[in-house]
Amino acid sequence: MRKSSGPQWAIRVLLYIIGLLFLAFGVAISANSNLGISPVNSLPYVISDIVKVEPGTCVTVVFCFYILLQAIILRKDFKIVNLFQIVFATIFGYFVNFSKAVVGDFMLPGGMVGRLIMQLISIVIVAFGVFIYMEVELVPMPMEGLTAAIAQKVGKPFHTVKTVVDCTVVLLGIILTFICLHIVPFVDSASRIGIGTVLAAVITGKIVGMIKKPLSASVKKICFGEEK
């Protein structure tokens, strides 16, 4: 993590938490679209449907499991500071439940068109949240932390491993959905994994890049007192 003054540290933490809040609301809106949610959150939501526990609780538990995997993979290279991921995973889990309660059962009218619009809105909101929490350069979220740990261990580029990890998580979600819930992903609207999951995987990164270009320098100046 980079150095900052006391006030800058406070701003970085605040912005990180705001980013998580945006991320949670994006997930809640995508869940209501019934077109599938992002790969990162798909598995916790599937598990939530199986065990009948609030999604936020499952998000926290699954994310903490990712942190445990990081420690197992990295062993002595695992840095103590990465344990702060537990704190932010817990906060994000709370935000998931909070945003779900705020959004409720809201759905845009217009059938499939309305659902697609909701999905696209959720992707933009998620992308903005990802941009904010990544720009402040604190600790990665558990999924990214796990991806980085695997990439470091196998000596492969982060983006290559990211694709494999995302696909693995989605595949596990598909298997659990079919076996435990007797729902066919991509066909049944009750599935947490659908065309929206694919859209999120393909589009989110591009939108993060679009947001980053005009706003990155301002965020860096606020957080680190510099322009980049």
- Which pLDDT tens digit goes with each residue over 211-221? 988 999 999 88
Q: How far is CA 26 from the centre of its chain?
A: 9
Q: Which of 13, 18, 28 is nearest to 98 (CA)?
A: 28
- The pLDDT of residue 226 is 64
- The pLDDT of residue 182 is 92
- The pLDDT of residue 228 is 46
Low-confidence ranges of the chain (pLDDT < 50): 228
Contact 19, 130 (CB under 8 A): yes
In three-state form (DSSP H/G/I as H, E/B as E, the rest C), the secondary structure along 30-87 is HHHHCCCCCHHHHHHHHHHHHHCCCHHHHHHHHHHHHHHHHHHHHHHHCCHHHHHHHH
Q: How many residues does the chain have?
A: 228
The structural domains of the chain, with segments of one domain joined by +, span: 6-224
Contact 6, 14 (CB under 8 A): no
- The pLDDT of residue 227 is 53
| C-alpha distance across the termini of the chain, in Å | 17
- Which pLDDT tens digit goes with each residue over 99-139? 999 999 998 988 899 999 999 999 999 999 989 988 898 88
CB atoms closer than 10 angstroms to residue 86: 16
- The pLDDT of residue 7 is 86
